[in-house]
Amino acid sequence: MSDLTVTETPIPGLLVVRLPLHGDSRGWFKENWQRAKMTALGLPDFGPVQNNMSFNAARGATRGIHTEPWDKFVSVATGRVFAAWVDMREGASFGATYSVEIGPDVAVFVPRGVGNSYQALEDGTVYSYLVNDHWRPGFAYPALNLADPTAAIPWPIPLTSDEVEISEKDLANPVLEDVTPMPPKKTLILGARGQLGRALAAAFPDAERVDLDGLDISSATAVEAWPWHEYGVVLNAAAYTAVDLAETAEGRVTSWSANAVAPALLARAATEHRLTLVHVSSDYVFDGAPRQARGTDAEHTDAEPVEAALEHTEDEAFAPLGVYGQSKAAGDIAVATTPRHYLVRTSWVIGDGNNFVRTMARLAADGVSPKVVSDQIGRLTFTATLADAIAHLVRTGAPYGTYNVSNAGEPLSWQQIAAEVFALSGRPREDVAATTTQEYFAGAVAAGKPISPRPLNSALSLARIRSVGFEPEDQLEMLKEYLA
């Protein structure tokens, strides 16, 4: 009895599995699909949903070359086949071939877009395949002629032999030069018109873009009806970010709908369709006092000092102060339930639109000398950096999970950033006066306006995103470029 092994082939992602057979005088037993053992050896956890079997009455039955848009795990239940594959995917490996004889002790993982074919070598051969999507009638996909001269598959029984039986449909399949390669699954950007959505469109130029008017992701009916089988990656940049309005009766409903219900629906769709879900979260899921810096039972007030050296880590316990933060934390919990997720937590986002930096630049130009809070500490996150970090995670296949992303550099207060904007605009830094958060909102609170509590420390640890090879640019260098 041999050991279970998984080996690569010249076709990227096509893997040959050698299966131990446990035999005695009665016959044999095998574990044809054993998720834990096989994934530990490098087989993708592809999530089969359907098991098909093809009975081949006589030696010489030949089928293919079919390129279905799903992954397959092929084997034989009885008999033997000569199996061959041709890469039909867009890219450098288009047209690559591989073949192997499959008996009960061999199985092959076939990735989406690789053409699959076989020839029965014994009478009564039963060919079995697990697939990770349900067959849909009327769905067309690429196919290749079994006798294609470019692929030049070395069929052990010549296709011209009287033993060989091929369907009329397979005989009519085109040759390789007439085949349109199968494109990869699409990337979808949600919230495409926002600051981050526009930056993601630049980082993923081939992505499909949609907004609320195209897909209401807070509607279970709309999400369920979307053709998710066409997509491989979903980038969720949609959110309700009016933190003060979230404290109103109407805003509370909208905030929870956009920031909690929508991510939960997306997570469910991602699990069902094996999507990679990228969801953007916020420093507002924390109260501004990292758990490692103070006891978990300590109370937080605006009067507490904040040490800039203390940074929030990805695994810190949630402690949101307001409705916006609470709804974002709920969305984070939901997204973390789907296996293939990147939860990207960020802070103080600056992009193509109205934001703090542009407001300060306008005040500097208008001769205004503002008061800006000096007790809220954090780092700016420019949308270009955030989009590049997301692209890095997706394209490098970084381990799934939560990553903090902001620009680098020493954490600063809003007042220090405003002073830097003034200096870059030709105004003295001293023209930006300091105030506290409590003093800044005192008038609004007295007037009964809704004000969300702010975390005083929004600095996020960047150790994990750096550990996967992404180095964020310094926030002050990016600020200079942005204002230029």
Q: Indicate the average pLDDT of the chain.
A: 94
Residues 6+ apart with CB under 8 A from 263: 236, 279, 331, 332, 334, 335
Give the SS3 label for residue 362. helix
Sign of the dihedral defined by the CA atoms of residues 406, 407, 410, 413, in that order: negative
- Beta-bridged to residue 165, according to DSSP, are 61
Give me the pLDDT at residue 291, please: 54
Please tell me the number of Cα atoms within 13 Å of 71 on its side-chain side: 19
List the domains of the chain with CATH numbers: 5-178 (2.60.120.10), 186-483 (3.40.50.720)
Condensed to tens digits (0 to 9), the pLDDT of residues 436-478 reads: 999 999 999 999 999 999 999 999 999 999 999 999 999 999 9
Cα gap 469→285, rounded to integer Å: 26
For the cut 80, the answer to whether the pLDDT of residue 108 exceeds it is yes
Q: Where does 184-298 have alpha helices with state H?
A: 195-203, 220-225, 249-256, 262-273
Give me the pLDDT at residue 427, please: 97
- What integer is the mean pLDDT of 405-432? 97
Give me the pLDDT at residue 306, please: 41
Cα gap 15→23, rounded to integer Å: 25
- Picking from 86, 81, 89, the residue whose alpha carbon sits closest to that of residue 66 is 86
Give me the pLDDT at residue 335, please: 98
Condensed to tens digits (0 to 9), the pLDDT of residues 44-99 reads: 999 999 999 999 999 999 999 999 999 999 999 999 999 999 999 999 999 999 99
Place 340 in a pLDDT band, splitting at 50, 70 and 90.
very high
Give me the pLDDT at residue 376, please: 96
Which residues carry out catalysis?
Answer: 66, 129
- What integer is the mean pLDDT of 343-360? 96
* H-run or E-run covering 168: helix 168-171
Give me the pLDDT at residue 209, please: 97
Bigger pLDDT: 140 vs 255: 255
- Picking from 191, 233, 462, the residue whose alpha carbon sits closest to that of residue 353 is 191
Condensed to tens digits (0 to 9), the pLDDT of residues 15-34 reads: 999 999 999 999 999 999 99
Least confident of 23-32, 238-247, 288-297, 308-317: 288-297
For the cut 70, the answer to whether the pLDDT of residue 292 exceeds it is no
Cα gap 484→481, rounded to integer Å: 5
Give me the pLDDT at residue 139, please: 75
User: Per-residue DSSP letters for 296-322?
Assistant: TT----TTS---TT--B-TTPPP---S
Give me the pLDDT at residue 290, please: 59
What is the widest separation between alpha-carbon atoms in the chain?
A: 95
Cα gap 129→131, rounded to integer Å: 6
In this structure, the strands spanning 381-382 and 349-350 are parallel
In this structure, the strands spanning 401-404 and 341-346 are parallel
Give me the pLDDT at residue 295, please: 42
Give me the pLDDT at residue 305, please: 42
- What integer is the mean pLDDT of 178-203? 95
Neighbours of 406 (CB within 10 A): 29
- Picking from 312, 347, 340, the residue whose alpha carbon sits closest to that of residue 398 is 340
CA 466 from chain centre, in angstroms, equals 18
Quote the tokens at residue 90. Answer: 């867009």
Tell me the percentage of the chain whose pLDDT exceeds 90.
Answer: 92
**The dihedral formed by the CA atoms of 202, 390, 196 and 256, expressed in degrees to the nearest 10:** 150
For the cut 70, the answer to whether the pLDDT of residue 307 exceeds it is no
For the cut 80, the answer to whether the pLDDT of residue 299 exceeds it is no
Cα gap 146→151, rounded to integer Å: 9
Least confident of 214-228, 294-308, 394-408: 294-308
Q: Where does 305-401 have alpha helices with state H?
A: 323-335, 356-365, 383-396
Bigger pLDDT: 29 vs 137: 29
Give the SS3 label for residue 109. strand
For the cut 80, the answer to whether the pLDDT of residue 119 exceeds it is yes
Give me the pLDDT at residue 182, please: 94
Place 134 in a pLDDT band, splitting at 50, 70 and 90.
confident
Quote the radius of gyration of the chain (alpha carbons, Å): 29
For the cut 50, the answer to whether the pLDDT of residue 298 exceeds it is no
For the cut 90, the answer to whether the pLDDT of residue 410 exceeds it is yes
Type of residue numbered 314:
E
- What integer is the mean pLDDT of 103-107? 96
